[in-house]
Amino acid sequence: MTPVLKIAVVGPESTGKSTLSALLAAHYHTVWVPEYAREYCANLTEAPTIDDEVAMFYGQLKLEQEYLPRANKILICDTTFITVKIWSDAFFGHTPQVVLDELPRRPYDLYLLLDIDMPWQDDPLRDFPTRREHFMEIWHEELKALNANYVTISGLGEERGQAAIRAIDGFLKEKGAF
């Protein structure tokens, strides 16, 4: 059986991760894993705690495992638990050890880092409209620290989608996959 390739769609807030994940899943006739933290945080009545971050970490891992058997050779992941590290560091000044331990053990085959060239869309679950450049740099640092295979995706609308498809197709060709 051919292993499923995991493609992570990541980046700062309001960069179109969910929209692009759905588009890519449709294009490649597969499924996409939604961002667990979005639903989790929508149900909170207070600001997330460090324990909530750990719960979101485990929730994202569980969700990916649930979707994996339904994937058609590629699993598109709308964010990853690297987000837990980034938010934990931003809000609490540190990351839970369980997250740090698992980061190098759970790589994705390709990360698509979405650029901040899209206009900000207000959402009650988004926090940092004025710090997008800062978080873009953090994403670059985190992916480099993992020695991750990643491509920055820019552009608006269809242009962004086509750039992501080109990046994935190039990766698949390079890997000799499918």
Q: What angle do CA 32, 151, 130 make, to 5 degrees?
A: 85
Domains defined for the chain, CATH in brackets? 5-175 (3.40.50.300)
In tens digits, the chain (178 residues) has pLDDT values of 568 999 999 999 889 999 999 999 999 999 999 999 878 888 888 888 999 999 999 999 999 999 999 999 999 999 999 999 998 999 899 999 999 999 999 999 999 999 999 876 665 554 666 678 999 999 999 999 999 999 999 999 899 999 999 999 999 999 887 6
Quick one: pLDDT at residue 45?
Answer: 85
> What three-state secondary structure class fits 153?
strand
| Integer Cα distance of 134 and 170 in angstroms | 29
Predicted TM-score (pTM) of this structure: 0.92
